[in-house]
Chain A
Amino acid sequence: MDMLRFLGGRHPYPLGNQPGGRRGTTSSRIAWRRTLGLLLVGGFLQLAPLILADERTETVALVGATVHPVSGPSLEAGVILIEGETVKGIGVDLPVPAGYRSIDLGGKHIYPAFLHPGSVLGLAEVGSVRGSVDTNENGDLHPDLRAEVAFHADSRLLAPTRSGGVLHALVVPQGGLVAGTSALMRLDGWNWQEMTVRSPVGMHIHFPTFVASGRDSFRGPAKTQEEVDEERDQALDRLRDLFAAARAYGRAQKAQEETHGKSLLPPVVADAKLEALQPVLDGSIKVFLHARERQQIEAALKFVQKQEIEEAVLVTGADAADLAPRIAKLGIAVVLNGVLRLPDRSWQPYDSSFTAAARLYEELHKAGIPLAIGDGGERFSAANARNLPFHAAMAAAHGLPREAALRSITLGPARILGVDDRLGSLEVGKEASLLITDGDPLEITTTIEQVWLAGRALDLSEDPQRRLYERYRRRPLAQPEN
């Protein structure tokens, strides 16, 4: 049976043939399994403590700036009251209560901080140095991998990312067919445990390629279409079998629980991979379907329907724009993974990657489905995660309404990641993570003057790139002979 391949050996009995019955809920599962869960996949749905231990909470009023809350219209000469990590008040002519330190920001603009919908920040340091890269595990089926446990809290990439206004990122493992679970990370803190805002956010599935490129790649010589077809069919089979096994596993657990372990059947053998898929099956975490080309996307949509995935997110490219009505009809949220890209095919219009967001947005917006814009999310784009707003800006120049563009890197991803109750816009009760600028943050020439993360102004001079700049700016004039 196929499943033996990923179970890594002989299984005591064929899970797929277990009697049916609805899958159990987390709370009703038997005790040993809970222990296993703690050991193997502990931290499911954990919400990390939000207060950094050594930060004194403060009450501050940001006064006089044009406030762009994203969730609503802009406020001229607005006031934002911040207590601790949280926005306590926002409005125009809001009286500043006693005890608040007032900061005058006349002429400035305030925006919510950007939220990156998919990156390997913290998992990859120097792209070409293998020892510094933890993005891709070997093997195909890794639902039990967790991104946050490899997140390098002191990565040199983080400070420049923060300076660019990106303060939270979904950190996503990259390898294989089922890559593992992502975690939403706050991009400043003392260690990954404290920086994890939510984990797991979603299970990441990469759909296999459908079309032979006809070109040699770094991975090897070009494959024929027949080879690609065969590999893809096998991969889709493995994916289907994995989900079937996970369902059977859940049913077996349930059955064992219902008979109070008195069944004559042998006990269910613990399996970390199948265990990790249970939150996917019971709908408690989302499924992120990575699919760029049209046929991949179609396969992903079919998968969502067949597997009855409750909350799916499509992480995709410009081809998705052609399938937008179907995606919208299925209610699937979309991460357009990169705008500043070449067209996927030589014959496509030069701006097909730039216009895709607008074409997608039209359909998604009608259906009330959020859109996020990413930057490709691969190893080499992590260092420039700070350029996320410029992907949105290019989409805006090519037909995406400007408010929608801003939303696609703030409230859009917050909704998709299920954290729009605390991130993505400036509203009472939400985290005070914001940017103070001298203009539109979608313009490259705009300066981000201050960055506030959870009610605290970050010291941007700590950015190592800034430090090198200041250091060499002060180098005494050298007069080499020549």
Chain B
Amino acid sequence: MSRSCPWLHRACVSEAWVFGAWLSRPWVFGAYVFGACVLGAFATGAAADPEAWKSEIPEAPSSILVRGATIWTSGPRGLLENADMLVEDGKIRRIDLGLEAPKGAQVIEAQGLHLTPGLLDAHSHIAIDGSVNETSRTLSPEVRVLDVVDSEDVAIYRQLAGGTTVSNLLHGSANAIGGQNAVIKLRWGQLPEELIFEAAPPGIKFALGENPKKSNTRRPRPNHFPTTRQGIETQLRERFLAAAEYRRRWQEYRQGTSLPGTAIPGAPKPRTDLHLEALGEILDGVRKVHAHSYRADEILMLLNLAKDHGFRIATFQHVLEGYKVADEIAAHGAGASTFSDWWTFKFEVIDAIPYNASLMHQRGVLVSLNSDSAELGRRMNLEAAKAVRYGGMSPEDALKLVTLNPARQLGIDSRVGSLEVGKDADFVLWSGPPLSTRSLCLQTWIDGRSYFDRQRDAEDRRNWEAERQALIAKVRALDSADESGGS
């Protein structure tokens, strides 16, 4: 099935969009506040060409040597003290003690610093232009985050500043099936299509419980279906029956099966249905289901439903009562991506406990932590630290909750999630142990390119401040000229 190019569409859609996104850049908006009229002229001239606002792609040194760091590999080699990591062409080439710097290598002296893989956030809503829920339908598997990635959301930069390099962008939880996800690398400054992590298998957001049944909306919705967990179950079941039927028709068409009840060959060509296409991909096992869920009952319900229809749930998201049915989740082979310690924000999470991650881990579930928030998403390392506090997980295992484990859940662990030879050079340099509240994220690298650098950030601030002051002075000069001219 051919698909139109969302980026092309988006770039052409309106100048207002371009201006709005451009405006959301920190330095631009800051300047705007103080010098609107000056900038207005710029904007009008530039709006036709969104690429004009693309940042320079950070340079990729042909080789980088990080020297003398404490390396948290999140891989089989565990924790390495005073070790070196060599990066070439955006990939990790060697991790060892006492490596020689190749000629022309950029050397990062990291004695006393800690090096970890770039952190992954398995559940995020940043960088999505507009609303995250398609609320006009109760099920919307056909809609795609891919079409609305906002590469200029400042949240991307803020996540980078906290060491996050990959975010799984999901729809909201207003619908039992929300839509198709987009896994992005946080290549700040690049165009939307350049953010998409090409290695990531496609996924889809499901949601169970209070949100899709509309328990907490302000206005009652008497005509809404479903309004119970039973309704959600039957709604999903019905859709998978329809999807199986749809796939059978296509199969029959392709195989030239006879028309029903006749010997006449050639089943008619079914009409393409984007809704059922997406569900068909789930049945085929190519689209990963990420299911927002809280209570044990609904988790078991979905496990059974998946089993009945012959597919697997990739992850339960939030899954705050996962600890109650950890064995069942583990047996199914599903992952669990949970909050560290959130609870009681609604009725279905009154039994949430901060030991959830540790307990599920102990029972053999592949566990990750997620943010669901642009704020939490920039300190996932400290979220991981809570698994040490609650349930006594080892620090290395705790860090994996935001590195290797989410990578495995998203099917991208051959590329990211640990510092291993051959993987992408996505890494973070910390001033101290990554689970310590004292530590700061100093540098964040993706594909061997520096996307965040605390020192550079400080310089940028000084430059922008100077620019801002210059603009203010200019506006004031214009104002005083106006006043003297107008009187």
Contact = CB atoms under 8 A, between A and B. Distances in A.
Interface of A: 125-129, 156-157, 218, 340-343, 345-351, 380, 383-384, 386-387, 390, 393-394, 396-398, 442-447, 465-466, 468-469, 472-473, 475, 477-482
B464 to A, nearest CB: 9
Given A346-B24, A444-B386, A383 B29 contact: no
A472 B347 CA distance: 20
Nearest to A125: B344
Contacts of A346: 24-26, 29, 154
B157 A445 contact: no
B345 A127 contact: yes
B436 A445 contact: yes
24 contacts: A126-B345, A127-B345, A127-B346, A128-B347, A343-B158, A346-B24, A346-B29, A347-B27, A349-B26, A350-B157, A351-B161, A380-B345, A384-B341, A396-B437, A397-B438, A443-B437, A444-B435, A445-B395, A465-B354, A469-B359, A469-B391, A473-B359, A477-B327, A478-B327
A479 B364 CA distance: 12
Interface in B379-407: 379, 382, 385-386, 388-391, 395
A394 B161 CA distance: 14
Given A383-B344, A482-B331, A397 B440 contact: yes
A128 B345 contact: yes
A397 B437 contact: yes
Interface string B32-71: 0100000000000000000000000000000000000000
B331 A465 contact: no
B328 interface: yes
Contact of A156 (B33, B333, B347, B350): B350
A127 B389 CA distance: 25
Contacts of A479: 327, 331
Interface string B422-452: 0000000000000111111000000000000
A80 to B, nearest CB: 25
Closest 10 CB pairs of A and B: A393-B437, A347-B26, A347-B30, A444-B385, A128-B346, A478-B327, A347-B29, A469-B355, A383-B344, A465-B353
Nearest to B468: A347
Interface string B326-343: 111001110000000111
B137 interface: no
Contacts of B461: 349
A380 B339 CA distance: 15
B344 A156 contact: yes
Contact of A350 (B161, B346, B350, B437): B161
Contact of A390 (B323, B331, B362, B382): B382
Nearest to A444: B385
B362 to A, nearest CB: 8
A393 B436 CA distance: 10
A347 B28 contact: yes
A445 B435 contact: yes
Given A478-B331, A479-B327, 19 more contacts: A128-B215, A128-B216, A341-B375, A346-B29, A346-B154, A349-B26, A350-B158, A383-B344, A394-B437, A397-B439, A443-B438, A444-B382, A445-B395, A445-B436, A466-B355, A469-B359, A469-B390, A477-B363, A482-B332
Given A342-B158, A444-B435, A478-B328, A157 B344 contact: yes
A475 B341 CA distance: 22
A126 B346 CA distance: 5
A126 B347 contact: yes
Contacts of A481: 331
A468 B395 contact: no
Contacts of A475: 324, 327
A443 B437 CA distance: 6
Given A444-B382, A468-B353, A469-B353, A342 B375 contact: yes
B437 A444 contact: yes
Nearest to B390: A469
B307 interface: yes
A170 to B, nearest CB: 20
Given A390-B437, A482-B332, A468 B25 contact: no
A461 to B, nearest CB: 13
A349 B457 CA distance: 9
B218 interface: yes
Nearest to A467: B353
Nearest to B437: A393
Contacts of A398: 440
A5 B216 CA distance: 34
Contacts of A340: 375, 379
Nearest to A129: B347
